[in-house]
Amino acid sequence: MIVGVVGKIAAGKTTVAKFFEDKGFCRVSCSDPLIDLLTHNVSDYSWIPELPEKAEPTRERLIEFGKYLKEKYGGDVLIRLAVDKKRHCENIVIDGVRSREEIEAIKQLGGKVIYVEARPELRFERLVKRKASKDKGIRSFADFKEMDDAEERLYHTSELKGLADYLIVNEGTLEELREKVEGIIEDVAGKV
């Protein structure tokens, strides 16, 4: 079974994916293949579209390289790479799904898609707390809003909500989120 997790920056996609991982799913992010290609860490793949010049995987570089790969190899290339990386796993959860083509690729593989959402102020708070290196250019809510708006223009993330099989509003506690995810895991497991 393949499950894709979609949502805006810091909505809780990775946390949702980690709950699936806790239940035995192999977790992979759509950005993992990009990071692997940029850092030349490609031993987990049975195929690679091309190897770029080695570079630090900043958020900007990941977006730029991802856009390039999708234009050249198809909008589903990151899903194909993510699934290939975890090809030895029975159940895979893919974090950071970002496009209609990626959602369609997951569904064509018999998978399900979860859309995770939270209001912008809460997502900014989470982003500040997580202190991820890819977020180091975001220093204020204005920076966050600018990045969020740019990502929306690029990926039309809000429009993807209608394509999801499940919707999680992630504005409560971690335990509340875990309960919502466990309900989905039970439902998905019943369909395997």
Q: Which residue has the higher pLDDT, 119 or 128?
A: 119
Please name each of the domains of the chain with its CATH number. 2-189 (3.40.50.300)
pLDDT above 90 (res 176): yes
pLDDT for residue 139 is more than 70: yes
CA distances from 47 to 33, 44, 163, 173 (A): 11, 9, 29, 40
* pLDDT given for residue 192 in this prediction: 52
pLDDT surpasses 70 at 18: yes
The SS3 call for residue 29 is strand
pTM: 0.91
Is 178 buried (19+), middle (13-18) or exposed (0-12) by CB count in 10 A?
A: middle
Give the pLDDT of residue 172: 94
- For the chain, percent of residues with pLDDT exceeding 90: 76
> What does the pLDDT read at residue 43?
95
